[in-house]
C-alpha cells in the first residue's frame, strides 16, 4: 500500500473514531453531568446579633439571608462564601433562610483576591477555627451554656 494512502486512511479512521467519541459524550444523559442541584453558594458579609442567636448574611446584591446550621466559628463582619441549601425561614430580618453545610471561604478583602481561610488550602473549617480563632469557640460555648 502506498505510504500516502496509508496515512490518509489512518487519519480518516482517527477522525471517525474522534467523531464517534464526541457523539457518545454529547448523547450521554444530562443528569450524569449535573451535581447536587439543591446545593447553593452565597457570598456576603455576616451580621451576628449581640446574643449570638441571629446570624444574617448580607449578600453583595443587598439581599439578606438568615443563616442556620453549621455556624460555629463565624465572627461578626466576616466576608464569607458559604455552601448550603436555601430553606424556608425569614426570621432575624432575613428575606429567606440558608442552611450552611460548608464554610468555603473567609475572605481577607472586599475583592475576593485574598483569604484568611479557603477550604481548598486550609482543610476543615472547624480545625482552622481551633487554630486561628479559639476566642470564637469560647464565646460560642459561653453563649450556649450561659
Q: What is the CATH classification number for the domain harbouring 95?
A: 2.40.50.140
Task: Provide the CB-side half-sphere exposure for 72 (13 A, CA).
Answer: 14
Q: In this predicted structure, what is the pLDDT of residue 16?
A: 59
8 and 45 part of one domain: no
Going by pLDDT thresholds of 50, 70 and 90, the confidence category of residue 4 is confident
Query: What cell was used for 124?
Result: 476543615
The reply to whether 15 and 45 lie within a common domain is no
What mean pLDDT is predicted for residues 119-138? 88
- pLDDT one-digit tens code per residue, 24-54: 444 444 445 566 678 999 999 999 998 888 9
| Residue 135 pLDDT level (bands cut at 50, 70, 90) | confident
Give me the numbers of helices (H) and strands (E) for the chain, helices first please.
4, 6
Q: Note whether 56 and 90 are within 8 A (CB).
A: no
Average pLDDT (134-138) is 72
- 88 and 120 in a common domain: yes
119-126 own/partner pairs: CB under 8 Å, 24+ apart: 125/70, 125/73, 126/72, 126/73
Query: Minimal CA–CA distance to 106: which of 90, 89, 125?
Result: 125
**Mean pLDDT value across residues 91-107:** 91
**Are both 8 and 65 inside the same structural domain?**
no
Domain that holds residue 128: 40-145
β pairing state of 64-69 and 97-107: parallel
Single pTM value for the model:
0.68
DSSP alpha helix (H) spans, 1-146: 3-26, 119-122, 125-132, 134-145
Domain count, the chain: 2
Name the band, by pLDDT with cuts 50, 70 and 90, for residue 128: very high
d(CA 37, CA 85): 10
- 116 and 78 in a single domain? The answer is yes
pLDDT of residue 44: 97
Amino acid at each position: 500500500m502506498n505510504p500516502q494512502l496509508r496515512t490518509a486512511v489512518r487519519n480518516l479512521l482517527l477522525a471517525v473514531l474522534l467523531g464517534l467519541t464526541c457523539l457518545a459524550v454529547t448523547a450521554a444523559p444530562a443528569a450524569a453531568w449535573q451535581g447536587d442541584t439543591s446545593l447553593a453558594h452565597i457570598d456576603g458579609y455576616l451580621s451576628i446579633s449581640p446574643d449570638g442567636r441571629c446570624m444574617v448574611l448580607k449578600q453583595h446584591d443587598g439581599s439578606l439571608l438568615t443563616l442556620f446550621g453549621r455556624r460555629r466559628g463565624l465572627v461578626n463582619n466576616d466576608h464569607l462564601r458559604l455552601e448550603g441549601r436555601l430553606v424556608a425561614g425569614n426570621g432575624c430580618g432575613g428575606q429567606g433562610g440558608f442552611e450552611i453545610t460548608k464554610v468555603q471561604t473567609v475572605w481577607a478583602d472586599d475583592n475576593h483576591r485574598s483569604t484568611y481561610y479557603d477550604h481548598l488550602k486550609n482543610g476543615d473549617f472547624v480545625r482552622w477555627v481551633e487554630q486561628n480563632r479559639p476566642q470564637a469557640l469560647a464565646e460560642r460555648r459561653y453563649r450556649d451554656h450561659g
